[in-house]
Amino acid sequence: MSVEDALPPQMQDAVPVPASVDRPDAHTQRFDRQLRLWAKTGQHALEHAHVLVVGANATASSSLKNLVLPNVGQFTILDPATVTEADLGANFFLDPTSLGKPRAQEVVRFLLELNSDVKGHSLVQPLSAQLDLSPYSLVLAVDVESRTDLLALSDAAWDKGIPLIKVETAGFYGALRTQVKELTVVETHPESIVDLRLSHPFPALVAHAATYNYATMDSEQHTHVPAVVILVKALEEWKAAHDGRTPTGSAERKDFMDGVVKQKRHADEDNFDEAVTLFRRAGTRPGIPSEIQALFDDPACENITAATPTFWLLLHAVRSFVSHPSNPSRLLPLSGALPDMKASSQGYVALQTLYKTKAREDLALVRRLLGETLDAAGVPRAAVSDDEVETFVRHAAWLKVVRGRSLRMEEDECRLKGQVGALLSAASFQQPPDASLYIYTALRAASLFSAAHHRAPDVPDADALTELAEGLVGAWSEGEDLAGVGIEDGAWREALGKVCGEVARAPPGTTLPQTSALVGGLVAQEAIKLITRQYGPLEGTCVWDGIRSGAGVLSP
């Protein structure tokens, strides 16, 4: 969207607050900024979450710090290690008195000083002794040394449907990977949830637009006709002249927009310019987005039982709404949102009332259909709250379902196979070149080295680590013509060797404060997405390159 297409931000006059108006409670004031990001529903989910963190190094501590401050409910750190001199030099949540003491207990002690409302626990034991994940809503596996233990942990989380984030750091490098079996997201926070129904206006909107008679208006009235009304009137005229069709193709759309602009009486009538901008942004929006239709066709939406999650029960009701006889347009429920636009106060309020009334009617029908769905499935109607239904209906066009792959699936069948040439070719266009593939490969090779030698690679092992990494790239690129896409054999091997040298110099788990701080922020961001089930979660592996100060995302 160009700058010219952007509508001006909504303006609101300052209104003095009477002394009698109740102030927000202390909780709302304290967490005001984050409530603006994920609202009360997200904050409630965060405050009732229990996060298991495997590892208590600097990266784990930094990740937890960013969860403790916004008031995560509980966290448990599992780590059998004791605090060493190296820990004191890297971890801000330790001090000299911690030396020789259980690292998990010490980190918990210092983290709880940040927020007394959060509960923290420590487990000073090896990971192999902890496979009961029932109490936890999220697992963070940070720099787990044992590949076998990590896969066993990920398998346990996968079986229980508990999200897991694997985190790796090595010097200036870092990587995080989310593992989710199925994550349903209602509040994806799109740029806008406005649905103006321009292509399929509801009868009340058409009737309202017909009450505007340009011929009887003076200049002041003409310059305050709402943009939506301008478009509805123009589209109805267009359809009357084109056998009921709306403008299709670039030529017809241009003709239509030119016709709207020609209706201006004066060059400074911004409302007609707004109408053109609205049409560019929403004039050809399809009836049902393809992503939502795919969810309608999903077996989970069809096979409703008493064990069906609330998301799919609600989606089943919305699908019934789309095919209901009282919805001849076969569209999703109206959100009721209306953007700001140039109009008289009376004209804007009248238009807003129309959209809100239609949205309430659609919501009422969805509620009725949901009740029938719940009855058929044997689920009590009280199991789904009115707030849940309203939120779902308002966001029905922007729902998202993420079905991921487990770490074991990635180990057994890496999806980078056959993609090496394309990835390296795309990376070469960046300056400096994106090293995400090399970093991912080096970290994975380090894991293989540790499994074979029962220790992390060190500087003398750089060549052996490089050989392992080259073997991985060779297996993934088998059958590809790398030279044909401009990737020289010697060049990629040299670049991979440099990365492996850095990993050997700073073995996995070695934490630099700057890497821990940045990766910890990324981890907490993804953790909050998974806990609150809001926004779009990371799908794949995010790789941080602190040497070039850049990040990349792979889908292995």
**DSSP secondary structure string for all residues of 90-154:** H-TT--GGGTTSBHHHHHHHHHTTT-TTSEEEEE-S-GGG----TT-SEEEEES-S-HHHHHHHH
Query: Does 224 lie in the same domain as 362?
Result: yes
The one-letter amino acid code at 410 reads: E
Query: Does 358 lie in the same domain as 245?
Result: yes
Query: Does 166 lie in the same domain as 230?
Result: no
Give domain status of residue 14, yes or no.
Answer: no
Q: What is the pLDDT of residue 431?
A: 84
Is-contact 162 133, C-beta < 8 A?
Answer: yes
Query: Does 324 lie in the same domain as 208?
Result: yes
For 387-431, the pLDDT digits (tens) are 999 999 999 999 999 999 999 999 999 999 999 999 999 988 888
Domain with residue 60: its CATH number is 3.40.50.720
Is-contact 334 195, C-beta < 8 A?
Answer: yes
Q: What is the pLDDT of residue 15?
A: 44
For 308-331, the pLDDT digits (tens) are 999 999 999 999 999 999 999 999
Query: Does 164 lie in the same domain as 246?
Result: no
Give domain status of residue 237, yes or no.
Answer: yes
* Counted domains in the chain: 3
Query: Does 432 lie in the same domain as 387?
Result: no
Residue 278 structure tokens: 């609205």
Give domain status of residue 126, yes or no.
Answer: yes
Q: What is the pLDDT of residue 283?
A: 58
Query: Does 366 lie in the same domain as 323?
Result: yes
Residues in the chain predicted with pLDDT less than 50, given as ranges, are: 1-4, 6, 9-15, 17, 20
The two beta strands, 164-170 and 183-185, are unpaired
Give domain status of residue 297, yes or no.
Answer: yes
Give domain status of residue 7, yes or no.
Answer: no
**Domain membership of residue 439 as a residue range:** 413-505
Q: What is the pLDDT of residue 384?
A: 96
Distance (Å, rounded) from C-alpha 311 to C-alpha 309? 6
Query: Does 331 lie in the same domain as 226?
Result: yes
Query: Does 173 lie in the same domain as 189?
Result: no
Tokens 């590809």 belong to residue? 480
Give domain status of residue 5, yes or no.
Answer: no
How buried is 527 (Cβ within 10 angstroms: 0-12 exposed, 13-18 middle, 19+ buried)?
buried
pTM assigned to the model: 0.89
Query: Does 430 lie in the same domain as 391?
Result: no
How buried is 16 (Cβ within 10 angstroms: 0-12 exposed, 13-18 middle, 19+ buried)?
exposed
Integer Rg of the chain from CA: 28
Query: Does 332 lie in the same domain as 281?
Result: yes
Nearest to 287 by CA among 366, 198, 227: 198
Q: What is the pLDDT of residue 284?
A: 55
Residue that finishes a domain, picked among 377, 401, 425: 401
Give domain status of residue 10, yes or no.
Answer: no
Q: What is the pLDDT of residue 4?
A: 44
For 265-298, the pLDDT digits (tens) are 999 999 999 999 989 887 556 689 999 999 999 9
Is-contact 334 394, C-beta < 8 A?
Answer: no
Q: What is the pLDDT of residue 313?
A: 97
Query: Does 157 lie in the same domain as 81?
Result: yes
Give domain status of residue 18, yes or no.
Answer: no
Alpha carbons within 13 angstroms on the beta-carbon side of residue 271 total 23
